[in-house]
Homo-oligomer: A and B are copies of this chain.
Amino acid sequence: MENSSNIWFEEPLSPGLLQRCLVSNIVCSTKSKYQTIEIIDTEPFGRCLIIDGKTQSSQEDEFIFHEALVHPSILTHPGPETVFIAGGGEGATLREVLAHESVKRAVMVDIDEEVVSLSKRYLPSWHQGAFEDPRLELHYADAKEYLANSQEKFDVIIIDLVDPLEEGPTYLLFTQSFYRLVQQRLTTQGIVVVQSECAALGYTRAFTSIAHTLSTVFPGVYPYKVNIHSFGGDWGFVMATQGLSPLDLSPEEVDQRIATRVTRELRLYDGMTHLGMFSLPKYLRELFDKETWVITEENPLTVL
């Protein structure tokens, strides 16, 4: 008898490279004002959120992405009270932020109310009730405009945006001018972290250019990576600081800060993981050293 399950989600990872996942259910498929949004159930990764054809996060490994995005920055800071999240519509970035006792206020600005609304309904294991936390202030707006029109400063700013697709809603938020604005909205010891696209050999141009662009604004720039299988490989992040450094934290110090400041068990992140994430391989460090592209509105970054 034939294998009957033969419905596949196909995602381009890079030119000439595709990933295909077996699909068991299409939970929803819609177009918002800004982008197309699909939630599907897959065999290898469980439920997945797909925006404009690209996997944003999956049930199986979203914890890797979101823990890697949030904890290094918040724990490098001595005790952040205010956190700003740009994007992050699934609510999982928020979930990780709110796991920190020091955080008194989280302002989240996502342009697309429909992503949040569908996530609330269909992605409960992502947000886990985080949208109900009284520390949250949620706005549906363009993060750049919001920050430009506000004077509030934050201890940590987390840039959790969808890929900078040509004509997509985010590509202007991967620019030097946006990072300058971000720097103005940080407190003195404030830290920003940016999800920074693919970190796999041969496809690191976004990763290295984001880091280089941040280095024109911030004195401390620290790229790191983790493996996210549903994204097809290694994924990059860049932390930028105004003096503090994640490299000053020993594994023991990271474990100590988690024990005293994080209110629940983490699955990915601890001292040893921290060490592994920031210890980039030689060929990748060399690519960062060689990068010269400063991303601007005139010379923007866009990915496949």
Q: Which interface residue of A21, A275, A282 has the most chain B CB atoms within 10 A?
A: A282
CB-CB nearest 7 A-B residue pairs: A276-B279, A16-B43, A4-B36, A16-B22, A2-B53, A200-B229, A18-B20
Measured CB to CB, the nearest residue on chain B to A276 is B279
Interface of A is mostly: mixed
Q: Which residues of A contact B (CB under 8 A)?
A: 1-12, 14-26, 29, 31, 35-36, 38, 40, 42-45, 50-54, 60-61, 64, 165-168, 199-203, 225-227, 229, 232-234, 266-270, 272-273, 275-283, 285, 304
Residues of B within 8 Å of A266, CB to CB, are 282
Q: Are A29 and B19 in contact, CB atoms less than 8 angstroms apart?
A: no
Also in contact, A15 and B44, with CB within 8 A (given A1-B168, A200-B227)? yes
Q: A281 and B276: CB pair below 8 A?
A: yes
Q: A1-B35, A6-B9 are in contact. List 10 more A-B contacts (CB 8 A).
A: A7-B9, A17-B44, A19-B232, A61-B201, A202-B229, A227-B227, A227-B234, A268-B282, A273-B280, A276-B278
A1 adjacent to B275 (CB under 8 Å): no
User: Please, how many angstroms separate the alpha-carbon atoms of A22 and B166 in the complex?
Assistant: 23
Inside 8 A of A5's CB, which chain B residues have their CB? 29, 36, 53
Q: How many copies does the complex hold?
A: 4
Cα–Cα distance between A234 and B230 once the two chains are bound (Å): 12
- Complex Cα spacing A11 to B18, Å: 11
A3 to B43 Cα, complex, angstroms: 22
Shortest C-beta distance, A247 to chain B (Å), equals 11
- In the complex, what residues of B have CB within 8 A of residue A202's CB? 44-45, 60-61, 229
Per the bound structure, the CA–CA distance linking A227 and B282 in Å amounts to 13
Q: How far is the CA of A57 from the CA of B229 in the complex (A)?
A: 19
Q: How far is the CA of A35 from the CA of B3 in the complex (A)?
A: 10
Chain B residues closer than 8 Å to A3, beta-carbon distance: 53
The answer for the CA separation of A270 and B11 in the assembled complex, in Å, is: 34
Chain B residues whose CB sits within 8 angstroms of the CB of A61 once the complex forms? 201-202
A14–B304 CA distance with the chains assembled, in angstroms: 24
With A44-B17, A276-B276, A281-B268 in contact, do A26 and B7 touch (Cβ < 8 Å)? yes
Task: List residues of chain B with CB within 8 A of the CB of A17.
Answer: 19-22, 43-44
Q: How far is the CA of A35 from the CA of B4 in the complex (A)?
A: 9
Residue on B with the closest CB to A279?
A: B276
A8 to B40, CA, bound (A): 13
Task: Check B40–A7 contact: CB distance below 8 A.
Answer: yes
